[in-house]
Amino acid sequence: MQPLAGDEPFTRLTEEVSSTTGAESILSPDHPLPASAAQLLAEPPTVTNGVEQAADRNRAFERLAVEGAPRIKPLLADHTFRPIKLIELDVEAGLPSLTGLERYQAVHALVRMNRRPIGYVKVPIRRGFCSPHRLADGVRQLLSSAPAATQLAVQSMLDVERRAADTFQGPPAHEKRQSTVTVAVCSRERTEDLAVCLQAIGELEYPDIDVLVVDNAPSSEATRRLMEDRFPQFRYVREPRPGLDWARNRAIRETKGEILAFTDDDAVVDPGWVSALVSVFDENEDVMAVTGLVIPLELETEAQILFEEYGGFGKGFLRRWYQALPSDSWHLSAGWFGTGTNMAFRRSIFNDIGEFDPALDVGTRTNGGGDLEMFFRLLEEGHLLVYEPAAIVRHRHRRTRGELKTQLRNHGIGFFSYLMRTARVYPAQRIGILRLAVWWLARWGIGRLLRSFVQPRGFPRDLIVAELLGALVGLTRYPRALREARRVAVAYEEPA
């Protein structure tokens, strides 16, 4: 996740709620919805073509900054590490009694209403036990205080009316034509993770999904054998050119669907993932890209908890629509819009704006930035991108401190490589890029480093330094990576 420059206000932004069921009957009649729900019903937001003009740009920016990624703190009060138990609560299904949790420090529950996420509940564990009463208290607090929960509950009432009206206006929604979808997984030498990923993809609740595995520059036949032995129903292609963006571009050319959805081999998709993505595309033909919520698959190691404290991949629980104006530069902070672990595009958009830059991301000197650059490019060209939190993917974070340190260093390299690429291709954005780079180095990098001396028990200093040094390295990586990508393209007789 990359921070958003504090002096770059959003110019076109809306926060749209996702549908769910009402909250009054969830826990107790003594805990009704907050009074603000009635106000929301009485004064619905005005939306034009899916994009609402923010009345106050700075306030819109501040709202996004505050409600971005759901943070998970390590809660290591006694200075000894204990993992965090992750569960999901569908409040319509009741609240469980959790036992056998002696080795865990806390329960972090993703709360869902009608299967759609509304927020996290964080409950401490006492003597290896977490009672449904404590979970209920946490859910009540979430419903009474979280804007997302309140708005979701209100939206559900409107959805009930809309669904009732639909029964008289035409055939049921499930009989209407849905977009065809290709799900692409780009992988290299991680067959154990890939098997778990594909097992979840096989359980997706969407008809006739085309699944494509792109084996990127493999050094063995392990992935091919896995596909033949366990997943023969899915397509397999071998992409010999090393680099994640080469693999993504191969997926673009091999796709059979109108929508191309990407996830990673170390991720586990939610059964409703594709349905949530496609629903946004089908609601508005102007939407060209959709990203979704990425939550941790597990928090079993200190490194995994530290990554969530750093910010993780989550972008919050409200649907957001993004579209840039020609004079804008806020969308340079592309890390706010999503991540490559959970992104989908209309196949046709690549005919307009081009494919991924093979000089960026994993497998090249830049180590990242390919997804950020595509998000920026899509918005820079005037297209519409939507963040839909109902499209959920669970990501297995790096398990060791060394792996996390390498990942954060690569984040710094990838982010600044993306900025250098953008400055080269879009010279009109160079002033905005300079402002963002200075802000990132001063506030996010050096600022956090200095605070680590004042607050030594905060985020580990060595991880801050790793990302900061990576950013400095990233200032020079893109030109070399571009030359190498061109050499690879010549070797395979294809323009880079």
pLDDT (tens digit per residue) in 447-463: 999 999 999 888 999 99
Q: Identify the band that residue 25 occupies on the pLDDT scale cut at 50, 70 and 90.
A: very low
pLDDT (tens digit per residue) in 86-141: 999 987 788 889 999 999 999 999 999 888 899 999 999 999 999 998 998 988 88
pLDDT (tens digit per residue) in 332-361: 999 999 999 999 999 999 999 999 999 999
Q: Which residue has the higher pLDDT, 58 or 188?
A: 188
Range of lowest pLDDT (167-181, 203-217, 253-267, 435-449) = 167-181
Q: What is the pLDDT of residue 269?
A: 98
pLDDT (tens digit per residue) in 282-294: 999 999 999 999 9
Question: By the 8 A CB rule, do 216 and 246 touch?
Answer: yes
Whether 165 shows a pLDDT value over 50: the answer reads: no
Range of lowest pLDDT (92-106, 211-225, 404-418, 420-434) = 92-106
* Helical residues (DSSP H) of 23-131, grouped into ranges: 36-42, 57-66
Which sequence spans correspond to the domains of the chain?
13-173, 176-404
- Mean pLDDT over 4-11 rounds to 35
Terminal Cα distance for the chain, rounded: 27
Whether 188 shows a pLDDT value over 70: the answer reads: yes
Contacts of 370 (CB under 8 A, 6+ apart): 244, 245, 248, 340, 356, 357, 360, 361, 414, 418
CA–CA separation, 91 and 443 (whole Å): 40
Q: What is the pLDDT of residue 160?
A: 44
Q: Identify the band that residue 47 occupies on the pLDDT scale cut at 50, 70 and 90.
A: very low
Q: What is the pLDDT of residue 420?
A: 98
Q: Identify the band that residue 43 occupies on the pLDDT scale cut at 50, 70 and 90.
A: very low
Q: Identify the band that residue 176 occupies on the pLDDT scale cut at 50, 70 and 90.
A: low
Q: Identify the band that residue 19 occupies on the pLDDT scale cut at 50, 70 and 90.
A: very low
Structure tokens that stand for 362 in this block: 């994993």
In Å, what is the CA distance from 361 to each residue of 167, 414, 477? 47, 7, 11
Q: What is the pLDDT of residue 90?
A: 87
Q: Compute how many other C-beta atoms are within 10 angstroms of the C-beta atom of residue 450.
A: 11
Whether 193 shows a pLDDT value over 70: the answer reads: yes
**% the chain with pLDDT above 70:** 77
Whether 491 shows a pLDDT value over 50: the answer reads: yes
Q: What is the pLDDT of residue 94?
A: 80
Q: Identify the band that residue 30 occupies on the pLDDT scale cut at 50, 70 and 90.
A: very low
In Å, what is the CA distance from 265 to each residue of 11, 395, 479? 35, 9, 29
Q: Identify the band that residue 148 occupies on the pLDDT scale cut at 50, 70 and 90.
A: low
pLDDT (tens digit per residue) in 257-310: 999 999 999 999 999 999 999 999 999 999 999 999 999 999 999 999 999 999
Q: What is the pLDDT of residue 95?
A: 87
Q: What is the pLDDT of residue 27?
A: 34
Question: By the 8 A CB rule, do 78 and 105 touch?
Answer: no
Q: What is the pLDDT of residue 435?
A: 97
Number of alpha helices (DSSP H) and beta strands (DSSP E) in the chain: 15, 13
Q: Identify the band that residue 143 occupies on the pLDDT scale cut at 50, 70 and 90.
A: confident
- Name beta bridge partners: 287: 384
Whether 190 shows a pLDDT value over 80: the answer reads: yes
Give 468: exposed, middle or buried? Use CB within 10 Å, 0-12, 13-18, 19+. Answer: buried
Q: What is the pLDDT of residue 115?
A: 84
Contacts of 23 (CB under 8 A, 6+ apart): 33, 91, 113, 143, 149, 153
Q: What's the whole-number average pLDDT of the chain?
A: 83
Whether 22 shows a pLDDT value over 60: the answer reads: no
CA–CA separation, 43 and 56 (whole Å): 18
If we measure between CA atoms, which residue out of 273, 259, 289 comes closest to residue 177? 259
Angle among Cα 16, 20, 23 to the nearest 5 degrees reads 115
Using CA atoms of 320, 392, 112, 133 in order, give the dihedral in degrees to the nearest 10. Answer: -120
Is CATH 3.20.20.70 the right assignment for the domain spanning 176-404? no
